Amino acid sequence: MIREATPQDWPNIWPIFSEITKTGDTYAYPVDTDIETAESLWMKKPDRTFVFEEDGQILGTYYVKTNHDGPGQHVCNCGYMVSGDARGKGLARRMCEHSQIIAREMDYHAMQFNFVASSNEVAVSLWQKLGFEIVGTLPKAFNHPSLGFVDAFVMYKWLAD
Protein backbone atom coordinates (compact mmCIF):
# COMPACT_ATOMS: atom_id res chain seq x y z
CA MET A 1 0.00 0.00 0.00
CA ILE A 2 1.26 3.46 -0.86
CA ARG A 3 0.07 6.22 1.43
CA GLU A 4 1.06 9.72 2.41
CA ALA A 5 3.75 9.78 5.07
CA THR A 6 3.14 11.28 8.49
CA PRO A 7 5.75 12.74 10.86
CA GLN A 8 5.42 9.54 12.90
CA ASP A 9 6.76 7.56 9.90
CA TRP A 10 10.14 9.29 9.95
CA PRO A 11 11.80 6.85 12.42
CA ASN A 12 10.97 4.05 9.95
CA ILE A 13 12.03 6.04 6.88
CA TRP A 14 15.37 7.11 8.36
CA PRO A 15 16.96 3.60 8.17
CA ILE A 16 16.13 3.43 4.46
CA PHE A 17 17.47 6.94 3.82
CA SER A 18 20.61 6.22 5.84
CA GLU A 19 21.24 2.85 4.18
CA ILE A 20 21.06 4.37 0.71
CA THR A 21 22.98 7.58 1.30
CA LYS A 22 25.82 5.88 3.22
CA THR A 23 26.82 3.94 0.10
CA GLY A 24 27.28 7.17 -1.86
CA ASP A 25 26.57 5.44 -5.17
CA THR A 26 23.12 6.76 -6.16
CA TYR A 27 22.15 10.00 -4.38
CA ALA A 28 24.09 13.24 -4.30
CA TYR A 29 23.61 13.59 -0.55
CA PRO A 30 26.67 13.54 1.71
CA VAL A 31 27.32 10.00 2.99
CA ASP A 32 27.32 11.35 6.53
CA THR A 33 23.98 13.18 6.28
CA ASP A 34 22.67 13.41 9.84
CA ILE A 35 19.14 12.47 10.86
CA GLU A 36 17.90 16.06 11.27
CA THR A 37 19.17 17.15 7.85
CA ALA A 38 17.76 14.00 6.28
CA GLU A 39 14.35 14.60 7.81
CA SER A 40 14.33 18.13 6.44
CA LEU A 41 15.39 16.94 2.95
CA TRP A 42 12.89 14.09 2.77
CA MET A 43 9.95 15.15 4.92
CA LYS A 44 9.86 18.94 5.20
CA LYS A 45 11.17 20.46 1.95
CA PRO A 46 9.07 18.35 -0.42
CA ASP A 47 5.44 19.22 -1.04
CA ARG A 48 4.41 15.66 -0.18
CA THR A 49 6.12 12.46 0.93
CA PHE A 50 4.76 8.93 0.60
CA VAL A 51 5.62 5.51 1.95
CA PHE A 52 5.23 2.03 0.55
CA GLU A 53 3.99 -0.06 3.45
CA GLU A 54 3.43 -3.79 3.61
CA ASP A 55 2.33 -5.70 6.71
CA GLY A 56 2.96 -2.61 8.83
CA GLN A 57 6.56 -2.24 7.61
CA ILE A 58 7.78 0.68 5.51
CA LEU A 59 9.75 -0.76 2.58
CA GLY A 60 10.06 2.32 0.38
CA THR A 61 9.42 6.02 0.19
CA TYR A 62 9.23 8.86 -2.29
CA TYR A 63 8.66 12.59 -2.36
CA VAL A 64 7.12 15.08 -4.80
CA LYS A 65 8.18 18.70 -4.91
CA THR A 66 8.18 21.61 -7.32
CA ASN A 67 11.37 21.53 -9.35
CA HIS A 68 11.52 25.32 -9.86
CA ASP A 69 9.27 28.19 -8.90
CA GLY A 70 7.82 30.75 -11.27
CA PRO A 71 7.60 29.81 -14.95
CA GLY A 72 8.90 26.31 -14.17
CA GLN A 73 6.47 25.50 -11.37
CA HIS A 74 4.49 23.12 -13.60
CA VAL A 75 7.40 20.64 -13.44
CA CYS A 76 7.87 18.47 -10.37
CA ASN A 77 10.82 16.52 -9.08
CA CYS A 78 10.65 13.20 -7.24
CA GLY A 79 13.08 11.02 -5.33
CA TYR A 80 12.58 7.34 -4.54
CA MET A 81 14.21 5.02 -2.03
CA VAL A 82 13.62 1.30 -1.46
CA SER A 83 14.98 -0.67 1.48
CA GLY A 84 17.73 -3.14 0.58
CA ASP A 85 15.55 -6.03 1.77
CA ALA A 86 12.78 -5.07 -0.66
CA ARG A 87 14.76 -4.39 -3.84
CA GLY A 88 13.91 -6.29 -6.98
CA LYS A 89 10.23 -6.63 -6.09
CA GLY A 90 8.88 -3.81 -8.26
CA LEU A 91 8.44 -1.23 -5.50
CA ALA A 92 10.28 1.55 -7.33
CA ARG A 93 8.13 0.97 -10.41
CA ARG A 94 4.93 1.08 -8.36
CA MET A 95 6.03 4.21 -6.50
CA CYS A 96 7.01 5.96 -9.74
CA GLU A 97 3.68 5.08 -11.35
CA HIS A 98 1.89 6.30 -8.21
CA SER A 99 3.92 9.51 -8.15
CA GLN A 100 2.86 10.32 -11.70
CA ILE A 101 -0.80 10.04 -10.70
CA ILE A 102 -0.18 12.23 -7.66
CA ALA A 103 1.77 14.74 -9.74
CA ARG A 104 -1.12 15.09 -12.18
CA GLU A 105 -3.54 15.51 -9.26
CA MET A 106 -1.25 18.29 -7.97
CA ASP A 107 -1.49 19.99 -11.40
CA TYR A 108 2.05 19.26 -12.50
CA HIS A 109 2.47 18.84 -16.25
CA ALA A 110 5.90 17.21 -16.25
CA MET A 111 8.32 15.31 -14.02
CA GLN A 112 12.07 15.79 -14.05
CA PHE A 113 14.84 13.85 -12.37
CA ASN A 114 17.69 16.32 -12.06
CA PHE A 115 20.67 14.14 -11.27
CA VAL A 116 20.54 10.40 -12.05
CA ALA A 117 23.96 8.76 -11.82
CA SER A 118 24.64 7.01 -15.13
CA SER A 119 26.13 4.14 -13.14
CA ASN A 120 22.70 3.52 -11.57
CA GLU A 121 21.76 1.39 -14.56
CA VAL A 122 18.75 -0.26 -12.88
CA ALA A 123 17.13 3.11 -12.18
CA VAL A 124 18.00 4.57 -15.59
CA SER A 125 16.51 1.52 -17.31
CA LEU A 126 13.36 1.59 -15.18
CA TRP A 127 12.78 5.30 -15.72
CA GLN A 128 13.17 4.82 -19.47
CA LYS A 129 10.69 1.92 -19.44
CA LEU A 130 8.26 4.26 -17.67
CA GLY A 131 8.58 6.86 -20.43
CA PHE A 132 11.32 9.15 -19.14
CA GLU A 133 13.87 10.42 -21.62
CA ILE A 134 17.45 11.40 -21.02
CA VAL A 135 17.34 15.06 -22.03
CA GLY A 136 20.74 16.04 -20.76
CA THR A 137 24.06 14.55 -19.75
CA LEU A 138 26.27 16.20 -17.17
CA PRO A 139 29.75 14.87 -17.94
CA LYS A 140 31.57 13.41 -14.95
CA ALA A 141 29.20 15.21 -12.55
CA PHE A 142 28.76 12.35 -10.06
CA ASN A 143 31.71 11.15 -7.99
CA HIS A 144 30.94 7.46 -7.53
CA PRO A 145 32.81 5.88 -4.58
CA SER A 146 34.32 3.04 -6.62
CA LEU A 147 33.95 4.11 -10.27
CA GLY A 148 35.17 7.68 -9.85
CA PHE A 149 33.63 10.45 -11.91
CA VAL A 150 30.66 9.25 -13.96
CA ASP A 151 28.04 11.15 -15.93
CA ALA A 152 24.75 12.24 -14.42
CA PHE A 153 21.57 12.35 -16.45
CA VAL A 154 18.68 14.78 -16.45
CA MET A 155 15.56 12.71 -17.18
CA TYR A 156 12.17 14.14 -18.14
CA LYS A 157 8.62 13.06 -18.86
CA TRP A 158 5.70 15.22 -20.02
CA LEU A 159 2.64 14.17 -17.99
CA ALA A 160 -0.11 16.33 -19.46
CA ASP A 161 -2.30 15.05 -22.27
pLDDT number for residue 21: 95
Instruction: Return the exposure string of 50-77: e unless at least 16 CB atoms fall within 10 Å of the residue's CB, then b.
Output: bbbbeeeebbbbbbbebbeeeeeeebbb
pLDDT-above-70 percentage for the chain: 100
pLDDT at position 99 over 80: yes
CATH code of domain 2-113: 3.40.630.30
Question: How far are the Cα atoms of 17, 19, 27 from residue 22, in angstroms, in the given order?
Answer: 8, 6, 9
pTM value is 0.94
Q: Name the pLDDT band for 160 (thresholds 50, 70, 90).
A: confident
Over the stretch 25-60, which tens digit does the pLDDT of each residue have?
999 999 999 999 999 999 999 999 999 999 999 999
- Compute CA distances 118 → 25, 59, 149, 153, 154, whole Å: 10, 24, 10, 6, 10
Domain boundaries along the sequence of the chain: 2-113
pLDDT at 161: 73
